[in-house]
Amino acid sequence: MQHNTPSPANGQTPPKATMPTPDGETERRLVALEIKASYADDWLDTLNRLVARQQDQIDRLSAEVRQLRQQLSPTDAPTWRSLRDELPPHY
């Protein structure tokens, strides 16, 4: 099967399609999108730093809890109590 591609009658190659130059409205919208992307990148970096700091804090607190649990002796463990024992005197 042959593809028929149109060619100019004078034997010259057709001109290549060029991208239209952006008009004022398109340029304004493009700049606005670039600004938004820049702010989004900055905000993402800020959030990444915050999450990293929070993870460091979680890790430190987890290690502290482990250490405190190891310091507890079995006799220091809280015993089970009934909430009825905790009723205020006016009941």
Residue 89 has pLDDT above 90, yes or no: no
Q: Residue for token digits 């009658």?
A: 9
Q: Mean pLDDT over all residues of the chain? A: 82
Residue 42 has pLDDT above 70, yes or no: yes
Q: Is the pTM of this model over 0.85?
A: no
| Residue 79 φ/ψ, nearest 5 degrees | -90, 160
Residue 5 has pLDDT above 60, yes or no: no
Q: What is the pLDDT of residue 30?
A: 95
* Max mean pLDDT range (60-64, 68-72, 80-84): 60-64
Q: What is the pLDDT of residue 78?
A: 62
Contact between 28 and 35 under an 8 Å Cβ cutoff? The reply is no
